[in-house]
Amino acid sequence: VNFSPGFLNVMAMVKWNGAIYASAGNAGYGQELYRTDGSSPLVLALDILPGGDSGSPGSLLPWGDRLVFAANSQIHGQEPWVI
């Protein structure tokens, strides 16, 4: 998997819907949800907490045609998310 320069803390990876999704962090977006096809660099899939703060997605779980995970929006705290 090509993680691209500048990414830190790549974790919680899972294959879903033809792509690899991962919780990863960089200076621009913080720890957020990224995706890749495995050969191209990571791209932002969902900016849970916009800006440099971190939504900290984790516990990624493919569930049929959905991806379920926990994340923190700082409004409601840690809660389940579904895409």
Q: What is the pLDDT of residues 41-54, one digit of tens each?
A: 888 999 998 888 89
Q: What is the pLDDT of residues 49-82, one digit of tens each?
A: 888 889 999 999 999 999 999 999 888 889 999 9
Count of H-run helices and E-run strands, the chain? 0, 7
Q: How far apart are CA 35 and CA 41, in angstroms?
A: 8
Contact 53, 31 (CB under 8 A): no
Q: In terms of pLDDT, which residue wins out, 61 or 2? A: 61
Q: What is the pLDDT of residues 4-32, one digit of tens each?
A: 667 777 888 999 999 999 999 888 888 99
- Which pTM value belongs to this model? 0.86
Cα→Cα distances 21→6, 65, 75, 76, Å: 17, 14, 24, 23
Q: How far apart are CA 80 and CA 10, in angstroms?
A: 20
**Predicted pLDDT of residue 82:** 95
Q: How far apart are CA 35 and CA 23, in angstroms?
A: 9
